[in-house]
Amino acid sequence: MLIKGNTITTKNIHNILLIQLGDIGDVVLSFPSIKALKDNFYRANIIVAVKEKARELIEDCPWTTDVISIDKEKRRIGEEIRYQRNFFSHLRKFNFDLAIDLRTGTRGAILALFSGAQQRIGRFADDGLLWRNRIFTHLVSPLNEINHYAAEYSVNVLSPLNLSIKDRLPIIFVTSKRKEIALSILKREKVPFERPIIAIHPFSLWRYKEWKTDEFVSLVDYLSIIHNCTVVITGSQEERKRAKEMIKKCKTSVFNLAGRTSIGTLSGIFQACKLFIGVDTGALHLAAAVGIPTIGIFGPSSPTNWAPRGDQHSVVSKRMLCVPCRQKGCDNSEKSRCLDELTFNEIKETVNKHIEKISL
């Protein structure tokens, strides 16, 4: 719903800034919006602003011209002033005609303002930051988003443009370079290829979304011993130690790839796998976007909003009346009973169904 601004002038738009300063999953779920802009403004340059950690995803995207990455590295005052001056000088060189901020943060609004674009579309922020809303020439306040798939959140912000949108599911194309690097990593880590490779991603930025380690161990042993699958654990460098501790509890060989890949290379790793099993995190969206089946382990967050779409994807969760509560754990306590009490036996049937499909 457009609550500020009139019809957008779409003629003579040559350079578009799309701002998505969320986490990895948010960036992946914004790909339908990137494609929609390219499909409708096929002669325009699409430049996407993201956090540094998501840079590779945009670099590999076939619908973008360039990427602007936000580096939050801590610097001394003098270095920070020089960095900010150079950053905004570089931003203005694109001569943007249109800027679109997909989120409600202040940094994105500032980028939109300093981009120099005469037309600026943003999401209405009902949080008291009235100055932020004034920055945009057009403000969108979508209706009934509680029932929308998260990829639609970004598409909703594009509504003032009246675009023809063909594809609403995230698709990520893995470049040949990423595939080669992923293959070399798998070979270096001595991951066998004669058995189906299954990626397990136990970690999240938010601990209240994580499943218990011992249940993951049961899952890994079941996949390895009963179904004769090769299991790789994925995660960040910060999560590598936790992955190592989990692997120590397993009764079979498991391969620790946590911290061994960049986000672009992780796409290649997932594409080499037959199945992804993990919690509600960016890796789940990334795996689905490169085209492999997934099993998402959900707790307080809603599958309606965050689970990948399609018949090849499944969701498992605890059958409790309060699920999903959409809170940060029980009563926002950062602890989730629905995940703490979910057992491997409760998800085994779903796992078996996917393994049967892999074996066909």
List, as one string, the DSSP characters of 223-280. IIIIS--EEEE---GGGHHHHHHHHHT-SS--EE-TTSS-HHHHHHHHHT-SEEEEES
Q: Given a cut of 90, is residue 246 above it in pLDDT?
A: yes
Q: Given a cut of 90, is residue 170 above it in pLDDT?
A: yes
**Tell me, what's the pLDDT at 177?**
95
**Tell me, what's the pLDDT at 128?**
60
**Tell me, what's the pLDDT at 129?**
65
At 207, the pLDDT band (50, 70, 90 cuts) reads very high
Q: Given a cut of 90, is residue 75 above it in pLDDT?
A: no
**Tell me, what's the pLDDT at 360?**
54
**Alpha carbon distance 121, 107 (integer Å):** 14
Q: Given a cut of 90, is residue 48 above it in pLDDT?
A: yes
Q: Given a cut of 90, is residue 83 above it in pLDDT?
A: no
- Mean pLDDT score across all residues of the chain: 94
Strand, helix or coil for residue 17? strand
Q: Which amino acid is at 208?
A: Y
* Cis previous bond, 324, omega within 30: yes
Mean pLDDT lowest for which of 83-92, 151-160, 215-224? 83-92
**Tell me, what's the pLDDT at 8?**
85
Q: Return the number of other C-beta atoms located less than 10 Å from residue 48's C-beta.
A: 30
198: which residues sit within 8 A by CB, 6+ positions away? 223, 229, 230, 231, 232, 273, 274, 275, 276, 277
Q: What is the dihedral of CA 155, 158, 164, 167, to 10 degrees?
A: -20
Q: Tens digits of per-residue pLDDT, 252-304?
A: 999 999 999 999 999 999 999 999 999 999 999 999 999 999 999 999 999 99
**Alpha carbon distance 66, 86 (integer Å):** 17
**Tell me, what's the pLDDT at 79?**
78
Q: Tens digits of per-residue pLDDT, 93-132?
A: 999 999 999 999 899 999 999 999 999 999 998 876 678 8
Backbone angles phi, psi at 4, to 5 degrees: -150, 135
Q: Are 281 and 188 in contact (CB under 8 A)?
A: no
Domains, the chain, with CATH or none:
2-161 (3.40.50.2000), 176-359 (3.40.50.2000)
Q: Quick one: what percent of the chain has pLDDT higher than 90?
A: 84
At 354, the pLDDT band (50, 70, 90 cuts) reads very high
Q: Quick one: what percent of the chain has pLDDT higher than 70?
A: 99
Q: How far is CA 216 from the centre of its chain?
A: 22
Q: Tens digits of per-residue pLDDT, 123-135?
A: 998 876 678 899 9
- Residue 325 token pair: 């509560």
**Tell me, what's the pLDDT at 169?**
96
- Three-state SS string over 29-80 comes to CCHHHHHHHHHHCCCCEEEEEEEHHHHHHHHCCCCCCEEEEECCCCCCHHHH
pTM assigned to the model = 0.94
Q: Tens digits of per-residue pLDDT, 329-351?
A: 999 999 999 999 999 999 999 99
